[in-house]
Structure 1
Amino acid sequence: MISGMATSGSAATVAGSSGRIRWMLRFLHRTLGHTLGIVFVVIGLTGSMLAYWQAIDEALNPGVLLVAASPPEDRQYRPIDQIMSSAKAAMKPGGEARILIMPRHENAAALVLYEIQRSGGVIDLHEIGIDPYTATTVGQRAIQEDGRTLSMPFIQILMSLHSALLLNEGGEILVAVIATFMIISIIAGIYLWWPRNGNWRQAITIKRGASPARRIFDVHRVTGAWTSIVLIAMLFTGTYVIIRQVMPSLLSFVAGSEKPLDSYRSAASLGATISPGDAVKRAEEALPGGKLYSLSLPQNREGVYIVGRQSVEEPNRAATYRNVVVDQFSGAVLTIQDRDKFSAGETFNEWVYPLHCGEAFGNFGRGVVMLLGIVPALLYFTALARWLNKRRATSK
């Protein structure tokens, strides 16, 4: 008898403890959703559009980003020095070229980003489109003027909204913190959803013939269950990308503390610099294979050329991890970044952004990310509708 009472008491204690945990997690899940959920919606919807950001940008700005189709026999790029000379001639007074990005497809323009120093330390950013087949200027646009975020083109505004909520100071860190809290909320949601009675069929399906209120709850519950792991992965990779950009020292344990490419310095010299074309040739000799993707230009007498040579095997199509640093005076190769020789941590670093935006899996991956970006809105508004329904029912 005493043994039976003890067993019953133990069961009650376990049930009570489980009930308290569920109450706490339900409160946490609901509170985080109500307070931060709308930000999650904004991040998700902007991320959905940014899955195809390059195609959207080209559609909105064809006069800068696209060139007329050329016959196959004429599809030979003009020399890099000619392309850079055309860009320099088209720059506004005070402009200094910073980087050349080669065309991403045969009808795309080569892009030269340049800066103009304004008073008070403000830097204006402009972009020039150059026809790579003729080395003539296609057009140009302002990327940012007077430090104003809303002066940027539509896609750049979307990027700022997605990664920093349009905030110039601390916006990225705020987004990373919110993303971390949303991961916690999703984990709490998984615990609350997990079928304690083992009825998995009910847990992953929407009940037929149910009331509207029940269907809303089921849509929220089932959508969250099917997408939770991928949502956590998206939030984690996005947070990782932000921290890597804003506070790289915090993540040095993952890929080591490799010296940044732009921290190398050219040897002091009073002589003339080598041309951009010469730097590209030195890089090709040092790191064969792939194709020219980018060329960062020296910003002062100590600066260096950084030549990016992208390979088809790279998961990241918006950057490259095959780079050669070249002394602007002697043409000496100062260092080579070669993804084929990466450690496991460096390879992880390389894959994080392509996984976040979906481009690691081509158009299929981008399509998944585009659809996934809608999910936070669906979760938020079904949760809001359920909360309002319960409030109305309670007030009656």
Structure 2
Amino acid sequence: MFAIIGLTGSLIVFWQPLDALLNPDLFRTTTGCALSLYRPLDDIVAAAQTHAPDKGKLRLLTFPNPERPVFTAAYEVPAPGTDWDDRYIVFVEPCNGLVTGSRFYDSQLRPLDGPLMGVAIRIHTSLLLNFPGFWLGNNLISFGSVFIACSMLIGVYLWWPRNRRWLTALTIKRRSSRERFNYDLHKVFGVFAGFLLLVSLFTGIHMYSPWTEWIDQGINNLSPVTRLTTGATSSQLTPGKKVISAEQALKIASANIPQSYPISLAFPGDEQGVYSITLKSDSVWDGEVIIDQYSGKILQLYGPNNATAGDHFLGWLFPLHTGQAFGLTGRILILFLGLMPILLYVTGFIRWRQKRKSRRLHISKQTTY
């Protein structure tokens, strides 16, 4: 399981450019299309609505970025007998406001359908085992990751040099036998990758229940977490009052996190729903502004500029998990880190076979004599 999660994790580090490479027609833009030439946001939304799937409800608009140069509008379509709706994506060119295409993305009952990168993400996050009413994949990853983290800590304890011979413990012996080379390879790669793998495991565990709630509450006890200490985040239903537009909501959010760029805008799900706008600034982690859909009042402002120590700690977790916290270097590091579990499993299995063979030979010799 750990090896599969690691391999798919390596694959999706650069999932957006890979998706664009595999589907060039969906991501085509006009020559010279720059931010200053983007169509108004409400025009983009209107264009996406012309290609909305039957019974589809617009839930999320993702803004262009260097790896994904078009707007993507995510629609949810009712899927009876499932825990979540089917999802479809409509792609809109930002400068001419034309739809470049649409595609089915995700269904709980058909986890292997949809684009390759979407399937890879679902394997990484659920092993394709989240069944209606029973999310087996989430539970396996959630509790399995904790077990693996404990196993790694035990492995580090067993490796820890008792005689302080650190150089010997951290080197691969040259001109050694195949058995010794495999042992040293497993030992050294395990130690050097161990710390980073533990960080990756912890940041991943935080995404799954019940650990999300426990970790968040634990941090909140040490330093207030804005998301847990602010009041209700639902819109105040006002009879006769119209819903503000997506563009109005974006302007309100951007004004409160200056020098930021929008990443996504989530639409209200019902009459008491809210706009939720995620914005990128110079900080490692992203800010979020939650807005009443009728009055435009800010219900919650969660961002690096007004963050507590608890906010910063939790805000860093996802960028650390993806490597984005350290830019391209960090993402490349995560790509190679995802290959470590399979290497450790292979060298560990070979070591087990070697010890088993040695034990059999020893027993055979004792029997002979």
TM-score bucket of the superposed structures, by smaller chain: 0.7 to 0.9
280, 283, 286: which one aligns with 1:314: 283
Query: CA offsets per residue over residues 202-226 of structure 1, 9 Å max, x none?
Result: 2111222221112111111111122
1:79 paired to 2:40: yes
Tell me what 1:34 maps to: none
Deviation at 1:109, TM superposition (A): 0.6
- Helix, strand or coil at the partner of 1:315: coil
TM-score (norm 2): 0.87
**Is the helix fraction higher in 1 or 2?**
1
Cα pair 2:127 2:137 within 8 Å, conserved: yes
Cα pair 2:78 2:85 within 8 Å, conserved: yes
1:97 paired to 2:58: yes
Cα pair 1:67 1:107 within 8 Å, conserved: no
Cα pair 1:269 1:329 within 8 Å, conserved: no
CA distance in 1, matches of 2:174, 2:53: 65
Cα pair 1:267 1:327 within 8 Å, conserved: no
How many residue pairs align between the two structures? 351
Cα pair 1:237 1:356 within 8 Å, conserved: yes
1:68 paired to 2:37: no
CA distance in 1, matches of 2:142, 2:68: 37
Query: CA offsets per residue over residues 313-338 of structure 1, 9 Å max, x none?
Result: 1324xxx3232x33322333333223
CA distance in 2, matches of 1:119, 1:260: 35
1:58 paired to 2:20: yes
Moved more, 91-100 or 328-337: 328-337
Tell me what 1:18 maps to: none
1:239-318 to structure 2, matched below 5 A, reads 239-243=205-209, 247-248=212-213, 251-255=216-220, 256=225, 258=228, 263-311=233-281, 313-316=282-285
Query: CA offsets per residue over residues 157-185 of structure 1, 9 Å max, x none?
Result: 22222222222114223212212222222
Tell me what 1:110 maps to: 71
121, 136, 151: which one aligns with 1:159: 121
**Which structure has the bigger radius of gyration?**
1
- Structure 1, unaligned stretches of length 5 or more? 1-38
CA distance in 2, matches of 1:229, 1:392: 31
Which 4+ stretches in 1 moved above 6 angstroms? Answer: 259-262
TM-score (norm 1): 0.81
- Structure 2, unaligned stretches of length 5 or more? 362-369
Cα pair 1:79 1:277 within 8 Å, conserved: yes
- What letter is aligned with 2:146? T
- What letter is aligned with 2:267? L
1:135 paired to 2:100: no
Q: Alignment RMSD, CA only?
A: 2.4
348, 355, 361: which one aligns with 1:383: 348
Moved more, 351-360 or 249-258: 249-258
Identity rate, percent: 31
1:150 paired to 2:119: no
